[in-house]
Amino acid sequence: MKPLYLNEIKRVIGLPLSPINHLIKNVYKNVRFLNNDTVVFHLNKTREIKKHKLKKYQNYYIITDQPILKEWKEYIDHFIFVPNIYHAYQRFIDYYRSLFNIPVIAITGTNGKSTVKEMITQILMHNYNVVYNKRSRNNIAYNHEHLMMIDDTTHYAVLETAVGAPGELITSCTMFKPTIGIITNIGIDHLSGCKTPQNYLLAKGELLAGLNYRGILIINGDDENINKLDLSVFRGKIIKFGLANHNDYYAKNITYKEYGMNFTLVTKRRSYEVYVPGLGEHNVLNALSSLAAIDCLGISLSEAIKHLKSFKHLRSHLSIHKGINNCLLIDDTWHINLKGTEAALKVIKAIGKDKQKIVVFGRFDDYDENLDYYDMVTNWILDAKVDYFISIDTNIRELGLKLVKKGFPSSNHIYCSSRDKLLDTLKKICDNNTIVLLKEAMYDKKLKQLLPQLIIKN
């Protein structure tokens, strides 16, 4: 955080200045982070202020709208009272963001947003200071933390803006005020907070308003759901990426390598040969959107493509390992939804033409029985010519039974009720000509905890 004097904060929230003007080094919105030289906005009132701990700290202030705290006479100089804590906090946040005239990239989408955030960040970090979400800390609960990471040394901010429910994307954009927005794709899952596909589509479309209908909007020009958005109201610049040649940034000559993808990037100015670590056409799309954003920042594409060669994926994002019995093991256990499942099955179809293919599925994230996930997934499994389907969840077992009804050999659908049974099963059917794909829900642990026994360390 950029240190601010207390009177600067008081002025911003509309309060009289103090005769004592301490330098504040941290601002939080939860009293559990109270410390020396700190201001806390008392937003989380369920968290108790422990009076006996206050005497430990110096130069701290709690901004609150709870008048009952005026009874704490011995600490009254450390409380700053406002009529409405939420209004005071918003005024401070708006002011703090206004201190920095930097490009801010906001990334949303059903799949790929974490990878795109990492690609852009890792390219930029070769030469610049970048604020970004660590791992996939994209919940709005982390927004304050990320904003406070911006200071006078920051050149760029690259932030995932997830959609848990309608309004969350606008909330994030109100705080970060992005100058560039990216929509990677829009699927029909992640519906738990949005309830319907239409609400989810509208929630993703909030990015247009989040950009204040100007700036730069980078979208997947091949995505049918993105193409349903009304872009006529957007007064900024719209840039499209994709595999089709009508896009501003598109890929051709796509080929699989052992651990990544080669392709030709075509822009309106010239073409570039690109290698990106990680398998799958979806990974090419991630690279396209990332390079489009880098180009919009005025940074050399040739330099960015050179840095992209050393890109490191987040864990469990189609991560390739040498596995049990020398099989090729693909760890895609970060989460499991429709678009990610389709992408993963396309990968094993592409690289496993002469190999035995085994798919191990756990429970789906945000499964919606009304969308008939299983009909789509079974078709993809059959298209990929999977040899064994192993289910480790009772609901996914139903998917396996549906698969059998479509002609999949019943003896090759295996239900494993425990990790031990799964391990024994894989030991029996895996060899050095086998590909094993692992997928399960983000917060499930059955496969994640088994990984150390399945992966052979080099």
pLDDT confidence of residue 206: 87
pLDDT confidence of residue 46: 87
pLDDT confidence of residue 366: 64
- Nearest Cα neighbor of 130 from 105, 161, 112, 99 is 105
What is the identity of the amino acid at 34? L
Task: Please say whether the beta carbons of 312 and 122 come within 8 A.
Answer: yes
What are the structure tokens assigned to 121, written together?
Answer: 């960040």
CA atoms within 13 A on the CB side of 52: 0
**DSSP helix/strand/coil, 323:** strand
Distance, CA of 453 to CA of 221 (rounded, Å): 42
What is the identity of the amino acid at 349? K
State the CB neighbour count (10 A cutoff) for residue 58: 11
Distance, CA of 134 to CA of 49 (rounded, Å): 29
Residue 411 DSSP label: G
- In Å, how far from its chain's centre is CA 453? 28
pLDDT confidence of residue 139: 81
The per-residue DSSP string of 20-84 comes to --PEE-EEESSGGG--TTEEEE---TTS---HHHHTT-SS-EEEE--GGGGG-GGGGGGEEE-S-
In degrees and rounded to multiples of 5, residue 329 shows phi and psi of -105, 130
Q: Which CATH number fits domain 100-308: 3.40.1190.10, 1.10.150.120, 3.30.300.30, 3.40.228.10?
A: 3.40.1190.10
pLDDT confidence of residue 146: 96
Distance, CA of 298 to CA of 83 (rounded, Å): 45
What are the structure tokens assigned to 41, written together?
Answer: 């906005």
> What does the pLDDT profile of the chain (458 residues) look like in tens digits?
999 999 999 999 999 999 999 999 999 999 999 999 999 999 988 888 988 889 899 999 999 999 999 999 999 999 999 999 999 999 999 999 999 999 999 999 889 999 999 999 999 999 999 999 987 777 888 899 999 999 999 999 999 987 766 778 899 999 999 999 999 998 865 556 655 667 677 777 888 988 999 999 999 999 999 998 899 999 999 999 999 999 999 999 999 999 999 999 999 999 999 999 999 999 999 999 999 999 999 999 999 999 999 999 999 999 999 999 999 999 999 888 888 999 999 999 999 999 999 999 998 876 555 557 789 999 999 999 999 999 998 888 889 999 999 999 999 999 999 999 999 999 999 999 999 999 998 888 999 999 999 999 86
Distance, CA of 133 to CA of 158 (rounded, Å): 7
pLDDT confidence of residue 246: 97
Distance, CA of 36 to CA of 39 (rounded, Å): 9
Global pTM exceeds 0.85: yes
**DSSP helix/strand/coil, 181:** strand
Q: Which CATH number fits domain 319-454: 1.10.10.60, 3.40.50.720, 3.90.190.20, 1.10.10.10?
A: 3.90.190.20
Task: Please say whether the beta carbons of 183 and 226 come within 8 A.
Answer: yes
Task: Please say whether the beta carbons of 110 and 339 come within 8 A.
Answer: yes
Helices (H), 248-393: 281-296, 301-308, 338-351, 373-383
Distance, CA of 297 to CA of 300 (rounded, Å): 9
What is the identity of the amino acid at 344? A
Helices 85-98, 168-176: axis angle to 10 degrees equals 50
- Nearest Cα neighbor of 199 from 169, 222, 159 is 169
pLDDT confidence of residue 166: 73
Element (H, E) at 11: helix 6-12
